[in-house]
Amino acid sequence: MLRSEAARYARWAATLAILLVLTVAGFYAYRSFLAARARRDAPKVIPPAVQKQSEEFSFSKVEGERTLFTIRASRTTEYKVGGLAQLQDVWITIYGRFGKRFDNIHTRECDYAPASGKITCAGDVQIALESAEEAKQRPGERALHVTTSNVTLDRESGELHTDNPVVFRFPYGNGRGVGVTYSTRDAKFTMHRDVELTLTSSGKDKKPPEPAVLTGAGLEYQRDSRVMRLLAPVHVQQGQRLLKAGALALEFDAALRARRLVAGGNPQYQSSELRGQLAVSAQEIVTQFDPAGWMERLQANGNVTARLKNRGGEDRLQSQRAEVEMEPGRNLARLLTASGNVSLDSQQRGESRRLETQALRIQMGAGRKRTERRMERAETLSSATLEIRNGEESTRVRGERLAAQFDERNVVRELRGSDGVEIERRLPNRPPQVTSSRELAMKFSPSGEWTEFEQSGSVRFREGERNAQADRARMVRATDTLTLTGSASVADRVSSTSAASLSFQQRSGEIRAEGGVRTSYTSVERNSATNLGPQPAHLSADQLLANRNSGRAVYSGHARLWQGDAVIEAASITLLRDEQRLEARENVLALLPQESGPAALVAARGAGRAVPAAARNIWKASAARMTYWGAESRVRLEGDVNAQSAIGQIRSKDLELHLTPANNGPKLLSKAIATGGVTVLQGDRRGTAERAEYLAAEGKFVLSGGRPTLYDTILGTTTGRQLTFFLADDKILVDSEQGSRTLSRHRVEK
């Protein structure tokens, strides 16, 4: 055989061998495939510990005709030992006692004990709490989602429990805690400890409010009523705001947005405001929320106390109830209403204020910054008392309605009162000064201290024994001066005065009256400056300036005093209470009645008839000045004195009159002493001397001093060291160096 043929046969043999190997390998591979498919399709071998396996599991808890919950699993394995069953891909749906719930619990694996009805889920568990209606309309949108682990469910009681950490979320908040118990019967969700809850807004606002973080020792959530309760101690933090409470209830709306918060157990609220540190305490605090998350209203009930501290001092509000309405869309107060034994105390810049009323409303306005609020107006809704103290000085305002306006710096600018107002001013060592009226307007300085007030409508004034009235009143604090205008009048136990205006200076005791002044001294005190008669003394003038402390009263401008028949007119009349003296100045005119006596009937020369002295003998005297001493019943006229009556006339530089009290009657002139260039005119007689004395009881003049001279149309001129002439019988007594002699004049009848 050729070598080439041998090589060809060798190649064919090799190819055939390879084909045989591949055929055998393919056969064995096919047999392996058939065996594997057979093993796969064959029934599984049950382990020795397993009693039974099934693909699905379902159990429902039923009360009457109502299904409380249903347990479903995609696969179940029942074990021989212990009677346990392992459930995989477990769903528990809770319908509740009334079928209003659709809560779902889902986990990968649970152990089920059919004998006891206890289900234990060791891995992660997802819980969704949702109402049946919401599940139909908005499945999952308004559910409370809870994540935890190692959960136990009691089939008989329907209670779910875990001691492990829990996290939960809902559309407008989230939280966490440790340990959960959930009752499927009443849909009550309880978290055992270390609870923290964060509330957020809807997120639709350009600048949503800060999240509110709530912490508590425990939590209870009633899903049907959507009420969540936190157990003490409870803290609520939102930015710079902090609320501490013994208990807290949070109510949600259907969309699980916070709608109402009720803090109990004597809650305390703290906030760092732009104006200072704010602290509020009460027995209960209730907050209403807008669906967007903003506070709508805040209510505090029972022994409410609010304190605001700043650099200037401290403000404190106390009441039984308080309500704050918030600005829409902003957590800023708009209106505060307090009621029930309301008191507002303020200590600012050394001045204290206290307001007491049964109801108070404070309206807030925009501050200098967007996030700042200020008091714009405060008004009482019932009768109120406001007391302002500065050292030993105090001002008390009582009114049926009081309303205050504040400036942009939160400082009171004006206080108004209506429907009846009373103001009481107290100064050290001074009697209280009280004014009442229908209306009040009180003004304040930029620093917040009151500067003046005005009252109108039936003004009444009281200071010690003094009472006054007018149409209007104005008090200026800088001078402590109260001015009454419009039919003004004032009275005390001694006198009463009316004028167009009356002013009272409280510190100095000064009193001013302007325009048509008229005073009546209704009670005449013994030895006073106005005791010229038993009748009331009346004074009138353009102005009056008096001082209750010094007892000095000056009537000026057409001053006039009249008391019975006695009259005094002058540019000014001054009464000095302590000195019991009266002084008249400039253009003095005095009318004084004369005492009756043996010469009471004086012939009216030329008239041929007698004039009764008691009825008509009034001395009319003019002078530059006049002084009356009430204790001495003595009058002194000075400066160009001219006194005349039906008896005669006296001209002199000075004239002194002595008055004698009559029995229950007026004081009558009993003696007159003229000095300095005296001239006495009596009928057709004229006497001159340096001194003249008139004795009313004896009806005679005594001229002395200088060169006494008497001029008589019949007897001629008579001189002597002292001349005495009588009014009734024209008798003259002459006392000279040669002795005494008597001259008589006899009229010859025709």
* pLDDT tens digits for range 396-423: 999 999 999 988 877 889 999 999 999 9
Q: Quick: pLDDT tens for 178-231.
A: 999 988 777 788 999 999 989 886 555 556 667 889 999 999 988 778 898 999
The SS3 of residue 7 is: helix
Characterize the bridge pairing of strands 212-216 and 188-199: antiparallel
Residue 637 contacts residue 590 (beta carbons within 8 Å): yes
- Whats the size of the chain, residue-wise? 750
Place 259 in a pLDDT band, splitting at 50, 70 and 90: confident
| Strand 188-199, strand 159-170: pairing | unpaired
Pairing between β-strand 412-426 and β-strand 495-505 as defined by DSSP bridges: unpaired
d(CA 685, CA 727): 10
Give the per-residue pLDDT at 405: 92
Query: For 110-136, what is the mean pLDDT?
Result: 85
Among 685, 508, 511, residue whose Cα is nearest residue 603:
685
- The residues, any chain, with a CB within 8 Å of residue 177's CB and separated by 6 or more, are 165, 166, 191, 192, 193, 194, 195, 196, 218, 219
Write out pLDDT tens, residues 150-189.
999 887 777 889 999 999 888 888 999 999 998 877 778 8
Q: Give the pLDDT score at 210.
A: 78
Two structure tokens written together for 420 = 């009846």
The chain-wide mean pLDDT, for the chain, equals 83
CA-angle at 227, arms to 283 and 212, nearest 5°: 70
Query: Does the pLDDT value for residue 267 go beyond 60?
Result: yes
pLDDT > 70? residue 382: yes
pLDDT the model gives residue 607: 37
DSSP state letter for 43: P
CA-to-CA distance for 462 and 467, rounded, in angstroms? Answer: 4
Task: With a cut of 80, say whether residue 312 has pLDDT above it.
Answer: no
Q: How many CB atoms lie within 10 A of CB 56?
A: 9
Sequence-distant (6+) residues with CB within 8 A of 231 are 216, 217, 218, 219, 220, 247
């803090």: which residue's tokens? Answer: 263
| Lowest mean pLDDT across 76-85, 277-286, 465-474, 725-734 | 76-85
> Looking at residue 36, what is its pLDDT?
56
Vertex 494, ends 488 and 498: CA angle to 5°? 15
Question: What is the percent of the chain where pLDDT is above 70?
Answer: 83
* pLDDT tens figures, 537-549: 999 999 999 998 8
561 or 54: which carries more pLDDT confidence?
561
The residue to which tokens 């006899």 are assigned: 746
At 329, the pLDDT band (50, 70, 90 cuts) reads: confident
Three-class SS state of 18: helix
Q: Report the alpha-carbon distance of residue 509 to residue 523 in Å, rounded.
A: 21
Whether the per-residue pLDDT at 358 is higher than 70: the answer is yes
The mean pLDDT of 293-304, rounded to a whole number, is 87
Enumerate the β-bridge partners of residue 437: 421
Average pLDDT over residues 473-495: 91
Report whether CATH 2.60.450.10 matches the domain 626-743.
yes
